[in-house]
Structure 1
Amino acid sequence: MTTSSLGTLIEPGTVRMERTLPAPVERVWAYFIDPDKRASWLAGGTMAEKSGGVFELRFDHTSLSGEVAPDRFADCRSPISQKSRLVEIEPLKRLTISWGSESATASEVSFEFTPRGDSTHLVLTHRRLPDRKETLGVSSGWHAHLDVLDDVLHERTPRGFWSNHAELEKAYEARFPA
């Protein structure tokens, strides 16, 4: 991992990450919209069909790479369900969802997809994070999940989610000063 691959704090409570993923936009999009494909790198569950719809993200972190969560994330050893709301959807271009709640005041994550030949440029922006602790946790979490997605798209065994997450927490702690 290099510091250039880390996300950036573009304003207090807003993190932005960029990735070039090794697949055409149609394939990458499917890994965000199809709950079965999404389960391989983030969370299964359901998906809303139109803006305003509520859906469920079902996280099963152990299934991502086989690593069991460390003690401080013991609640992640069993599947966790989270209600979210589909804020905006523009197929193959943009997806915005509420995070952690279906409430209109919840934090919000947007994914922007841009075709680049046989690859896809992804921009992830997570807004309305309430404090530094949440910003650090969300940053290392998204980064670790995107690393798993990159591995899945490359058709290789995903790296250890929790060991990678631990390294990323340290990197983000250093990158985002108190």
Structure 2
Amino acid sequence: MNAIAAMDAYGALSEDSTLTIRRVLPGPIDRVWAYVTESDLRAKWLASGAMTMKIGAPFTLTWRNDELTTPPGKRPEGFGEEHSMECEITELDPPHKIGFTWGSTGGVLIELVERENSVLLTLTHRRIRDRNALANIAPGWHAHLDVLFAKIAGKPTEPFWDHWGKLKHDYAERIGG
């Protein structure tokens, strides 16, 4: 069994407010780092926004989830075509680690560890304020990381919003909310 098949794709909740999700991605680490930190590549799986690689540097993430997959699927009520959020870099160790604030829901840390021809990405989202926020954050990160894997591996993706909707149901059963 390969490492991807052996790893649970779903995030785990710890300390009742911290979500951790892991993915094994095709390497090399510099390519994965570019997808995490460069606006044009990050826009393909998460959100655009130029980053100055310096602790304390502010940046804006702008989501256009309808542009992540073709077709995008049916966008749920309450979600617009575009959403932006102000962030700030809190930790930085290129190409292994970047941490940043995440609006009012705490902070995000993305760590990369190179393993032969692959990269283990660990995403930790801390201080998620309540179950309602978690109900959107957990399936959101999961769906976005699935798109990242597909983009890096050159594989097809299912419609983003349809996938997110299925994951929202799955996470509600797994962790409540």
CA contact (8 A) 1:64 1:158 kept: no
TM-score (norm 1): 0.90
CA contact (8 A) 2:73 2:162 kept: no
Three-state SS of the structure 2 residue aligned to 1:4 is coil
**Larger displacement relative to structure 2 (140-149 or 4-13):** 4-13
Quote the residue 2:93 is aligned against: 90
CA contact (8 A) 1:22 1:153 kept: yes
Task: State the alpha-carbon separation in 1 of the partners of residues 98 and 74 from structure 2.
Answer: 29
CA contact (8 A) 1:13 1:128 kept: yes
Task: State the alpha-carbon separation in 1 of the partners of residues 21 and 96 from structure 2.
Answer: 16
Task: State the alpha-carbon separation in 1 of the partners of residues 144 and 157 from structure 2.
Answer: 10
1:25-174 to 2 correspondence within 5 Å? 25-66=29-70, 67=72, 69-75=74-80, 77=81, 79-100=82-103, 106-174=105-173
Three-state SS of the structure 1 residue aligned to 2:108 is strand
Please give the root-mean-square deviation of Cα atoms over the aligned residues, in Å: 1.9
In structure 2, relative to structure 1, the CA distance for the partners of 1:137 and 1:2 (3 Å cut) is farther
Q: Report sequence identity in percent.
A: 34
Task: State the alpha-carbon separation in 2 of the partners of residues 3 and 109 from structure 1.
Answer: 21
Task: State the alpha-carbon separation in 2 of the partners of residues 53 and 26 from structure 1.
Answer: 21
- Quote how far apart the aligned CAs of 1:54 are: 0.3
Three-state SS of the structure 1 residue aligned to 2:166 is helix
Q: Which runs of 4+ in 1 moved over 4 A?
A: none
**Larger displacement relative to structure 2 (124-133 or 156-165):** 156-165
